[in-house]
Amino acid sequence: DSGVTQTPKHLITATGQRVTLRCSPRSGDLSVYWYQQSLDQGLQFLIQYYNGEERAKGNILERFSAQQFPDLHSELNLSSLELGDSALYFCASSVGVGGGNQPQHFGDGTRLSIL
């Protein structure tokens, strides 16, 4: 058990809809990362928050947004959903601000299916 909790585990919705994915980091971790994993793209970094502030941005679409709350949990909002957004979305956390010298601890993801 990584200590990172993601909800919901599965989400099925239709094109054009909006969904919110939630992540609770491991106790004591201040950084939260969001990743998207699809069969043809591998694990793609979306965005990172550290102690409530955005710290790094990857290839995140403008339709996607995230935030980290004072209690350090994070939410990833996906809007105007398209079929291509179907994927596994992972949240990870680390102790500090991040970097190659820190392990990341992953949740078990939210599987998003767009019909």
Question: Which residues contact other proteins by CB under 8 A?
Answer: 2, 4, 33, 42-43, 45, 48, 55-56, 58, 88, 90, 92, 97-101, 103-109, 111
CB of 109 to other proteins, least distance (A): 6
* Site of tokens 């957004």: 85
CB of 49 to other proteins, least distance (A): 11
CB of 29 to other proteins, least distance (A): 13
In the complex with other proteins, the residue whose CB is nearer, 33 or 64, is 33
In the complex with other proteins, the residue whose CB is nearer, 74 or 104, is 104
Q: Classify residue 103 by burial, with Cβ atoms within 10 Å: 0-12, 13-18, 19+.
A: exposed
Which long-range contacts does 38-47 make (Cβ < 8 Å, 24+ apart)? 38/86, 38/87, 38/88, 41/87, 43/90, 46/76, 47/76
